[in-house]
Amino acid sequence: MAVSQPLNCRRTTAGKQHATHRFTPTLALTHAQALVSNLMLTPVPTLNRQEHNTHCFLDDHLIVRRGQCFNMWVDLCRPFNPSCDKLHLELKLGHIPSIRDGTYVIVPIVEEFKKGCWGAKIVEQGQNRIKLCVHSVPTACVGRYQLSVMTHCPGGRFTLPYVPENDIYMLFNPWCKDDCVYLSDEAERAEYVLNDMGRIYYGTKQQIACKTWNSGQFEKGILSACMYVLEKSCTPCSGWGSPIDISRVVSDMVSLHFLLINTLISCWKMKCTYILLHFLVVLRCLGIPARPVSNFCSAHDTDVCLTTDVYLDEKFQLIDHMNRDSIWNYHVWNEAWMTRSDLPSGFGGWQVVDSTPQLTSQGFFRCGPTSVAAIRSGQTFLKHDVPFLFAEVNNDKVYWQRRCDGTFGVVHTEKDVVGHCISTKAVGSDQRVDITNLYKHPLGSSEKSTALETALRHGLRRCTYPLPCAEDVVCEVSLKEDGPCVGKDAVLYINLKNKCSSPRSVTLYSQAAAMYYTGVRKTFLKRDQTCIELKPSECEKSYIFVRYKEHLVDHTSLMLNLFGHVAQTKQVLATQYSFRLRTPDLVIAVSLKLQFNWHATVCLTEKFIPKCHGPQKLLASFDCPQLTQVHGFTNIVVKQHC
């Protein structure tokens, strides 16, 4: 493709020059102006893109990665004479390019490249053309650069005019050892940078489901949109060489975009999942290795005190206006791979970047980049947002009950109720990988105690409360197999165990509710009270039916609140059990028939024309207000058309 051409000038009767839309050199140009007639990136782009691992992009521009050489042809109007002809390239980024900030780059012609310096070598010379090999620095700002050529000949200076089609897209380079996003493993680079198919895990910790998605980051126009996001952020381009700054800027911009959409259309279903995927697209497009992560039982700790507090009245009813904390069934965020020169050694690698956090960071709904290693070790004094992420995966649930005199007392605690089954997709396969051990040490280990002590020593608060009596009756809730299905009553099992040698009389108050996956209640479905007599050391198993009818909301989430007391000891029993109703899968046959299996089987046949050859995934989703999260996929191989 032609990158740029000098103006084809024509003289008017008034003696002034005007530029035509299409221009080629003419005899009217001076000797100096006629030196460069054109910049050619074709047929070089194929080679550039293969070497820079940007061959998947469907855009027409030159797309390269920093810290690596790329090639271009310069077409001349006459043979190049090194003794008297001089030229250099100029790259400009942003509205006010600056040489000091690295956003105005002058690329001279050199004999040999120097480490840490831009340069261009003439590697091939023809009759009226030269081929340049351009070397970029591994710390270059990423973004959309304007490219032009300056020539200096005996006849004077001439700058080849800027043309938007000549823009060079500069990306981070995980293949370059000197780049701060360098990732050494080739399989991980393929997964976390080049893969446009992924998996998101959702549901509850007992019922983990997954959805296959196509990010489409290589589709035409997506990279330009990512650059547009950067350019509209109103942040200095000089910071665009840092993945730390880029991730915070993109997190803020993506979140702001979706908050605007939410305001306009009043729809916020699976908000963190949708925003996560858009954020992931931008990160991978820009060359930052990234992966989606799901945290099951994710704390929304409003005061970051490492407890989720639940308040009950004297009759074991929830006091809604006091229950501001919540535990989400799951929350998803991204991890981005980068070094952290702003932190002590050992805190680089995977960093949490979240554009849908439950709290703000410096006035914006963004979070990170937060070192996963810092979260694990309790280094809450390190930036950014370590205290919030530490509390999100390390939290106890504390139940308070109002006394007759109006005061409150702690009646029950549940230890380590958040940060379970932290999951991401495996490298090179569709398997789920549990990475909880990267975020927290095992419960009861000395390492976990040390991490907690470190967090408390650097500002986090945690209160411990003695219980009013011994807990000799244990209450647990469980599901049968994988849980109930949509369209059928939900059946839960309540297991009571008397651990002492004396009989116990237990009164239980159960409250079933339809829930949003964020822990917010939509409505109560059922309230019940039952009395159970337990013999010494006896285990009693009962069950409860829940009918939900038309009250289901997104993710078909339900919760059983179970509270009660033991007559002999005044022990209070308390637990909240979240679960979801299973939805059917879409089965996609190789013949491209969609089969919907549930109470009945429905088959649909669809025809389409693939755009790309090779191994692909075919995705299908069922859109219905009454039945959400119905989807499926199959692996296919598209043969190249002969």
Q: Sorting pLDDT into bands at 50, 70 and 90, what band is 508?
A: very high
Report pLDDT for 31: 42
pLDDT at 37: 65
The pLDDT-based confidence of 598 (bands split at 50, 70, 90) is: low
The closest of 383, 312, 382, 393 to 358, measured between CA atoms, is 393
Does the pLDDT at position 213 exceed 60?
yes
Tens of pLDDT, residue by residue over 170-181, are 999 999 999 999
Closest CA relative to residue 470, chosen from 576, 540, 397, 572: 572
Q: Does the pLDDT of residue 16 top 90, yes or no?
A: no
Q: State residue 40's pLDDT score.
A: 61
Higher pLDDT among residues 596 and 520, named by residue: 520
Of 589, 604, 583, 585, the C-alpha closest to 635 is 589
Dihedral over alpha carbons 335, 341, 343, 344 (to 10 degrees):
120
Please, are residues 210 and 585 in contact by the beta-carbon 8 Å criterion? no
pLDDT tens profile 99-126: 999 999 999 999 999 999 999 999 999 8
162 or 228, higher pLDDT:
228
As a whole number of angstroms, the distance between CA 466 and CA 114 comes to: 67
Mean pLDDT of 159-168: 86
What's residue 516's pLDDT? 92
Rounded Cα distance between 117 and 366, Å, is: 35
Residue 411 token pair: 């009646």
Q: What residues have CB less than 8 Å from 264, skipping those under 6 apart?
A: none
Cα gap 230→247, rounded to integer Å = 10
pLDDT at 500 exceeding the cut of 60: yes
Nearest-angstrom CA–CA distance, 515 and 506: 27
Could you write out the DSSP letters of every residue in 376-396? Answer: HHT-TTSTTTHHHHHHHHS-E
Q: Give the pLDDT confidence score for residue 2 in this predicted structure.
A: 38
Where is pLDDT greater, at 588 or 188?
Answer: 188
CA separation for the pair 44, 227 (Å, rounded) = 23
Whether 25 shows a pLDDT value over 60: the answer reads no
Question: What is the per-residue pLDDT for 231?
Answer: 92
Q: How much of the chain exceeds pLDDT 90, in percent?
A: 61
pTM of the model: 0.88
- Please report the pLDDT score of residue 192 as a whole number: 98
**Whole-number pLDDT of residue 583:** 87
Among residues 189, 81, 91, 93, which one has the least CA distance to residue 135? 91
421-467 residue pLDDT tens:
999 999 999 999 999 999 999 999 999 999 999 999 988 888 778 88
Q: Report all structural domains of the chain as residue ranges with CATH numbers, in order of start.
A: 2-171 (2.60.40.10), 192-457 (3.90.260.10), 473-580 (2.60.40.10), 586-638 (no CATH)
Among candidate residues 148, 150, 143, 140, the one with its CA nearest the CA of residue 101: 140
Give pLDDT, residue 467.
85
Mind listing the pLDDT tens digit for each residue in 218-258?
A: 999 999 999 999 999 989 999 999 999 999 999 888 876 65
Tell me: pLDDT of 22 over 50: no
Give the lowest-confidence range in 194-203, 324-333, 582-591.
582-591
Report d(CA 262, CA 276) in Å as an integer: 15
H helices, E strands: number in the chain = 9, 36
Which residue's entry shows tokens 């019940």?
528
- pLDDT class of 597 with cuts at 50, 70, 90: low
pLDDT-based confidence at 10, cuts 50/70/90? very low
Element (H, E) at 129: strand 129-135
Confidence of residue 182 (pLDDT cuts 50, 70, 90): very high
Is the pLDDT at 58 greater than 50, yes or no? yes
Q: Has residue 3 got a pLDDT over 90?
A: no
Q: What is the tens place of the pLDDT at every residue in 384-401?
A: 999 999 999 999 999 999
Which tokens go with 378? 């309790």
Residue 286: pLDDT band with limits 50, 70, 90: very high
Chain-centre distance for alpha carbon 408: 41
What pLDDT is stored for residue 83 in this prediction?
83
Most confident of 13-17, 39-43, 279-283: 279-283
Q: State the Cα–Cα distance between residues 25 and 36, nearest whole angstrom.
A: 9
Query: What separation in angstroms does the CA of 403 have from each of 279, 315, 317, 406, 411?
Result: 48, 10, 13, 5, 11
The pair of structure tokens assigned to 474 is: 């244990």
What pLDDT does residue 290 have? Answer: 98
| pLDDT reported for residue 29 | 38
Average pLDDT value over all residues in the chain: 86
- Higher-pLDDT residue of 325 and 356 is 325
- CA–CA separation, 247 vs 280, rounded Å? 10
Q: How many angstroms separate the CA atoms of 106 and 120, rounded?
A: 10
Q: Is the pLDDT score of 153 beyond 90?
A: no
Residue scoring higher pLDDT (307 or 26): 307
| pLDDT tens, position by position, 463-499 | 778 888 889 999 999 998 888 888 888 999 999 999 9
Q: What is the pLDDT, as a whole number, of residue 481?
A: 83
168-171/62-65 β-pairing:
parallel
- Give which of 600, 599, 579, 626 is closest to 207, Cα–Cα: 579
Place of tokens 């351009």: 134
pLDDT at 308: 93
